[in-house]
Amino acid sequence: MWFQKEVQLPAMRRGFHLVTDEVLSQVPELREVSVGLMHVFILHTSASISINENADPDVPRDLELAFNEIAREDFPYRHTMEGPDDMPAHVKHAMIGTSISVPIRDGQLCLGTWQGLYLCEHRNRAGSRQLVVTIHGETADD
């Protein structure tokens, strides 16, 4: 079976946001897959999608601090038309990436105990974000 759906996430403040439950709630078709793969692609260049630690709230805060240090707003960027946070957002996006793939087993994502899906929002005042979720796998009926 192949299945694809666009998932919309609400506007979020700059930072790393755990969105596992929000994504899964919009893709109930995942429960039908006995074995497969879920691919998540973000349709933006100033936000990213990632898998990271889902338990300690210090992790997303520390990630934000680290990436703000790596891609500083006070760097002499040439692309500045969209504000001082735009080019650093593109740099962070290039480092983290546009997509993730997660195995599916018995209708659930095969994430580690401490893993979750993160929207990495790199803009100060971004709008909602769209993800394309593609599922490929076998159902119990196959």
- Residues 55-67 pLDDT 10s: 999 999 999 999 9
List the CATH code of the domain at 2-139.
2.60.120.460
pLDDT > 70 in the chain, percent:
100
Give the separation between CA 49 and CA 90, rounded to whole angstroms. Answer: 13
| pTM across the whole model | 0.95
pLDDT at 140: 80
Give the residue from 127, 67, 118 showing the smallest Cα distance to 95. 67
- Mean pLDDT to the nearest integer, 42-57: 97
Q: What is the pLDDT at residue 70?
A: 97
DSSP 3-state assignment of 52? strand
Please tell me the distance from the alpha carbon of residue 90 to that of residue 97, in angstroms, as a whole number: 10
Q: What is the pLDDT of residues 70-111, one digit of tens each?
A: 999 999 999 999 999 999 999 999 999 999 999 999 999 999
Amino acid identity for residue 20 in this structure: T
The pLDDT assigned to 43 comes to 98
Domain ranges of the chain: 2-139
User: pLDDT tens-digit profile of 12-44?
Assistant: 999 999 999 999 999 999 999 999 999 999 999
